[in-house]
């Protein structure tokens, strides 16, 4: 295969293309590729059954360069394809069982459930009526194209739709729709006109797509069903001789059994009711292969009810636990971890609390290097042994390694660039990551069990970028509108309001005010419950107070008469006092410590 391609396109495959994926011709002229039996493994030899879902003839050998009978054993043949003459297994590598397909030739055509909507648009038949046809609740008269009640008619199920789609001419229908678009507004209300217009446009767009991609409409009806390679739906031997099998094997087994039973009933010339009932079972079993029971059309049959819903092809691929998001996009990253977050207001804005156990695992290579460089260990093996033993010296080494080394915290979903930010770790003895409450709005995080991923930047360049660009203290503004994203909310606003509140009750105003020489005396009085946070007090000002507020002349004019007191002791000395509350002093002290 040429690796230099621009894009990958997924389109509807024709029955001949499906058969070409699987069929191989032996030197004797025999064609292999079709799965005929629903058997998987022989219960005695644990070898794949011939023509079954794990057949070595169809999908390739189980062991490298070894056929089923043992005639060829560990012989690498690189020139030409070699088939064993006795067991007819191709002698090649076993990895071929990961991508070699098989196929099942259906006795009667079956509608692909994923294309039900497009079939209804193309034929201009309601989706509900299409479902009634394929599940044998109504029949389709090809002469007048109308639906009738249940009768014994040959045009039941997918066979009727297959005949219509095979005889349809897309070019003529596209031309007729283009002409009819000019006469839509005649005698129609505005609402009906819009509905009719959307219907015609949707149908015309589908036809143009089919013509452009050279897709025939009858390809939406399955006549050859591809079967996945066996290594993508394995059977695994567990302890106590139990087997664990993929759900796809059960679904394929049902389809093959229904198909073989339907073939047998047609040969026996049984009544049409039994044949139609078996055709409906076959349609439902193929539906459950593509869509799970919750997604597929509900049927009245209890034939396929199980204690749990089997995972279909769509459920394996789609969703959060699907192949794309879980395995391809969500791969594990080295030097990363994940744990629950809690709040810690004592941290600085650019700090986060990191559990010691998590930090030891994330920074293990750096700890090993430090142990060897300090000659506390002679080799990597002895350093790992010390880490397993968790000696007391190890935590001191870890503290040195972690110091000033930024880490990245990411909270999914990362909808904007502030969803991942850098912090300086601070080790703790808990099992949770601690965050400053002001950074929660950027992460859209709350503390009801949210988890965050931890990543360690290793290179010098990544650490420099983390410090300069991604540090939490450097990301104050929202990238969406430029407004501050770190704003005071909830208990922070309530606490500031409580600290700066003044008690204006008459009892408090007429009560004797206390005089304090400095703020430390105020804090001491608070601890002894002599005063409260809202009590009015007089606090002696420092000598440089007026020099600091000279630029705020308007503030002085408004408040100097009410809140400034000049108390003279004698003619030589005087003291300046300001009226305030202990709560405001506490708030001022916190602001000064932060700055």
pLDDT score of 551 more than 60? no
CA 427/CA 361 separation, integer angstroms: 13
Query: What pLDDT, on the 0 to 100 scale, is given for residue 1?
Result: 52
pLDDT score of 447 more than 80? yes
pLDDT in tens, 20-77: 999 988 888 889 999 999 999 998 888 999 999 999 999 999 998 888 888 888 766 6
Picking from 169-183, 369-383, 392-406, which range would have the lowest pLDDT averaged per residue?
A: 169-183
3 state SS of 434: strand
pLDDT in tens, 451-464: 999 999 999 999 99
pLDDT in tens, 456-486: 999 999 999 999 999 999 998 988 888 999 8
Mean pLDDT of the chain: 85
Tokens 């804005």 sit on residue: 349
Picking from 52-56, 534-538, 562-566, which range would have the lowest pLDDT averaged per residue?
A: 562-566
Picking from 123-132, 327-336, 409-418, 422-431, which range would have the lowest pLDDT averaged per residue?
A: 327-336
Q: Helices then strands (H, E): number in the chain?
A: 22, 18
pLDDT score of 558 more than 80? no
CA-nearest of 221, 293, 216, 223 to 251 is 293
What DSSP assignment string belongs to 363-380? Answer: THHHHHHHHHHTTS-SSH
CB under 8 Å to 105, separation ≥6 — which residues?
34, 223, 224
CB under 8 Å to 215, separation ≥6 — which residues?
11, 12, 209
Assign 154 a pLDDT band (cuts: 50, 70, 90).
low
Query: What pLDDT, on the 0 to 100 scale, is given for residue 229?
Result: 95
pLDDT in tens, 87-119: 889 888 899 999 999 999 999 999 999 999 999
Query: What pLDDT, on the 0 to 100 scale, is given for residue 80?
Result: 67
Q: For the chain, how many residues are written?
A: 595
CB under 8 Å to 353, separation ≥6 — which residues?
344, 347, 425, 426, 427, 428, 430, 432, 433, 434, 435
Query: What pLDDT, on the 0 to 100 scale, is given for residue 569?
Result: 45
CA 283/CA 157 separation, integer angstroms: 9
Question: Taking a C-beta distance cutoff of 8 angstroms, is the pair 418, 438 a contact?
Answer: no
Taken in order of first residue, the domains within the chain and their CATH numbers are 13-100 (no CATH), 105-223 (no CATH), 228-327 (no CATH), 336-363+405-474 (2.40.40.20), 494-594 (no CATH)
User: Is the model more confident about 577 or about 129?
Assistant: 129
CA-nearest of 481, 451, 15, 461 to 224 is 15
């Amino acid at each position: 295969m040429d690796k230099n391609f621009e894009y990958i396109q997924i389109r509807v495959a024709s029955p001949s293309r499906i058969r070409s994926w699987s069929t191989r011709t032996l030197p004797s002229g025999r064609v292999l590729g079709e799965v005929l039996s629903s058997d998987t493994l022989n219960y005695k030899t644990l070898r794949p059954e011939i023509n079954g879902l794990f057949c070595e003839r169809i999908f390739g050998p189980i062991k490298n360069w070894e056929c089923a009978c043992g005639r060829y054993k560990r012989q690498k043949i690189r020139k030409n394809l070699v088939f064993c003459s006795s067991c007819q297994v191709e002698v090649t590598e076993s990895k071929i069982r990961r991508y070699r397909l098989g196929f099942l030739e259906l006795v009667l055509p079956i509608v692909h459930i994923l294309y039900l909507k497009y079939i209804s648009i193309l034929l201009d038949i309601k989706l509900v009526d299409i479902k009634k046809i394929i599940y044998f609740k109504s029949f389709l008269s090809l002469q007048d194209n109308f639906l009738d009640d249940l009768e014994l008619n040959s045009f039941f199920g997918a066979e009727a739709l297959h005949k219509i789609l095979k005889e349809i001419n897309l070019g003529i229908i596209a031309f007729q729709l283009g002409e009819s678009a000019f006469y839509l507004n005649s005698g129609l209300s505005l609402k009906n006109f819009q509905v009719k217009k959307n219907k015609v446009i949707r149908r015309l767009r589908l036809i143009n797509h089919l013509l452009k991609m050279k897709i025939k409409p009858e390809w939406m009806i399955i006549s050859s069903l591809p079967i996945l390679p066996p290594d993508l739906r394995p059977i695994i031997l567990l302890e106590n001789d139990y087997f664990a099998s993929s759900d796809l094997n059960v679904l394929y087994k049902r389809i093959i059994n229904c198909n073989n039973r339907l073939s047998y009933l047609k040969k026996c010339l049984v009544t049409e009711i039994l044949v139609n009932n078996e055709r409906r079972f076959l349609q439902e079993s193929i539906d459950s292969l593509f869509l799970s029971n919750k997604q597929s059309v509900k049927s009245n049959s209890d034939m396929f009810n199980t204690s749990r819903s089997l995972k279909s092809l769509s459920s394996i691929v789609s969703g959060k636990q699907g192949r794309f998001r879980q395995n391809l996009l969500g791969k594990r990253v080295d030097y990363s971890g994940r744990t629950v977050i809690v709040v810690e207001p004592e941290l600085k804005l650019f700090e986060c609390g990191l559990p010691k156990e998590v930090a030891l695992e994330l920074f293990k290579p750096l700890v090993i290097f430090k142990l060897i460089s300090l000659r506390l260990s002679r080799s990597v093996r002895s350093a790992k042994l010390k880490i397993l033993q968790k000696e007391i010296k190890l935590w001191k080494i870890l503290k040195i390694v972690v110091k000033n080394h930024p880490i990245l915290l990411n909270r999914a979903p990362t909808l904007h660039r502030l969803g991942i930010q850098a912090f300086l770790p601070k080790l703790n003895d808990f099992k949770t990551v601690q965050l400053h409450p002001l950074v929660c709005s950027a992460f859209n995080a709350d503390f009801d069990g949210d988890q965050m991923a931890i990543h360690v930047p290793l290179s010098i360049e990544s650490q420099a970028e983390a410090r300069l660009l991604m540090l939490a203290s450097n990301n104050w503004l929202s990238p969406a509108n430029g407004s501050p994203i770190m704003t005071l909310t909830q208990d922070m606003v309530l606490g500031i309001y409580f600290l700066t509140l003044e008690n204006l009750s008459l009892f408090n105003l007429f009560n004797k005010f206390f005089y304090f020489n400095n703020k430390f005396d105020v804090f001491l009085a608070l601890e002894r419950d002599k005063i409260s946070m809202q009590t009015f007090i007089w606090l002696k000002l420092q000598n440089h107070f007026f020099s600091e507020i000279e630029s705020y002349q308007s503030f002085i004019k408004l408040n100097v008469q009410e809140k400034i007191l000049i108390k003279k002791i004698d003619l030589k000395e005087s003291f300046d006092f300001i009226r305030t509350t202990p709560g405001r002093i506490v708030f001022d002290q916190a602001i000064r410590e932060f700055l």
